[in-house]
Amino acid sequence: MDIPDDLRGKIEWVEPSPPSHGLSYDEIKNSLIPFLKKLPKDPILIVINDAHRSTPSHVILKIILENNVNIGLIAIATGSHSQPNKDEIETIFQDIDISSLPIHYHNGSLPISEYLNLGKTKRGTKVFINPIVNEFQTILTINSVEPHYFAGFTGGIKSVVPGLASVKTIEKNHAWALSNDSGPTLTNGNPVFEDLWECGSKIQSSILGIQLVNIGSRIFGIFCGNLREAFEKAKSLSSKIFVKSFSTQFDLVISHVIGPISRSLYQAQKGLENTRQVLKKGGTIVLVAECKKGIGNTAFFETLSKYDNPSDVVNSISIENYRFGDHKAAKFASLALYANLRICSSLSEETIHSVFAEKILATDLSSLIRKFVEEGKSVLYVHDSGNVVVTIN
């Protein structure tokens, strides 16, 4: 959105801070080819993200195809998401002709009997995985790595778990999002993060990674090799680009979500979690997101709609009785108890009220910012808050 020039100098403004130039296609190719030459000659399983992530998988796939890698199967890691439609498939593959490619679209909602049972983790997560992982000795994941609001970071093992897992496995793991030890950029001691990697460790195949740090189609870093090692290197660069720290909290925070994360309220809520740490208690936070696809996954919304008071929502949810989406409901409710929540989107007032928020029009945002500035209050505007995390140092 446009902020009047006279206001821009009176508020704090945060956005991703990548290097001045992304990698050229030739630079990307030169980084990849030595790694691709070392891949096994046997068929491999390649796992890529669905359209819910802005991962430029097509760029990497094009280079893989040019170098005659023995592709046994390309799996789209949908996790709990619905199957991609025609437009989403075009978004994923871009100008690649997929007519002759072996492509598999994961379905996380099949009966449990359709998955491999790999036992359970120390936290009790039963690991039900798509059986295609057992058909290949080598799995190659193509990920983008950026902060995640409760798993610490995207990328890494998340292509496989939750990407190729049953919703039953995903549900159990996501219950740990209710823990105070989960959160954006947190990995050490984060029960969600640690449980995911333990799930992945039960897969016998060798798992390799091409880990990208990108903003849209611009790639700033590419790390290849052992999945965990490549992920950790990408995480370090991602932190430099997407994580910002402040010494004080703000009276007003504008959390502006863009790109595929803004497609639904379910996804856009990540922007609130990525920015709430720098909001003063009793302050105001505004979520700006298009939400063209409406609510998205409705489970969290159904939980919220049962109650008139956010306190009742928080009290009704626990790790022990967790249902899929409850973490989302709990976070909306806890934020409503902490601050004033407003949402600027195409959603109806009724829908927005159901998540304990008020609707605000885009035309009124500048007036709201001006009001806070004139009252001598602090304002922070976070652009791309679905990826950018702001913290207190």
197, pLDDT greater than 80: yes
Closest to 329 measured CA to CA, from 339, 314, 342, 319: 314
Contact 326, 303 (CB under 8 A): yes
Burial class from Cβ neighbours inside 10 Å (0-12, 13-18, 19+) for residue 270 reads buried
Domains belonging to the chain, first-starting first, are 25-241 (3.40.50.11440), 247-392 (3.90.226.30)
Strand partners, 14: 382
CB 153 within 8 A of CB 235: yes
Q: Is 368 a residue whose pLDDT tops 70?
A: yes
pTM check: above 0.75: yes
pLDDT digits (tens, 9 = 90+) for 210-246: 999 999 999 999 999 999 999 999 999 999 999 999 9
pLDDT tens column, 133-189: 999 999 999 999 999 999 999 999 999 999 999 999 999 999 999 999 999 999 999
Residue 380: strand, helix, or coil? strand
Compute the average pLDDT of residues 112-116.
98
pLDDT confidence of residue 9: 87
pLDDT level of residue 273 (50, 70, 90 thresholds): very high
Confidence category of residue 1, pLDDT binned at 50, 70, 90: low
Rounded CA separation 81/77 (Å):
9
Q: What is the mean pLDDT of the chain?
A: 96
What is residue 347's predicted lDDT score, i.e. its pLDDT? Answer: 97
292 with 263: CB under 8 angstroms? Answer: yes
Q: Is pLDDT above 70 for 355?
A: yes
Residue 363, CA distances (Å) to 3, 5, 147 in order:
11, 16, 30
pLDDT classification of 46: cutoffs 50, 70, 90: very high
- Report how far residue 388's alpha carbon sits from residue 64's, in angstroms, rounded to the nearest whole number: 30
Q: What are phi and psi of 219, to 5 degrees?
A: -100, 130
pLDDT band at 253 (very low <50, low <70, confident <90, very high): very high
Residue-wise pLDDT tens digits, 59-79? 999 999 999 999 999 999 999
Which H helix or E strand runs over 221?
Answer: strand 218-226
Q: What is the number of other CB atoms lying within 10 angstroms of the CB of residue 166?
A: 28
How far apart are the C-alpha atoms of 119 and 124, rounded to whole Å?
A: 9
Helices (H), 57-165: 57-66, 86-93
DSSP 8-state class, residue 255: E
Query: Distances in Å between the alpha carbon of 218 and those of 39, 50, 139, 160, 225?
Result: 26, 18, 25, 24, 21
Mean pLDDT on 122-140: 97
Q: Which of 147, 114, 125, 313 is nearest to 244 (CA)?
A: 147
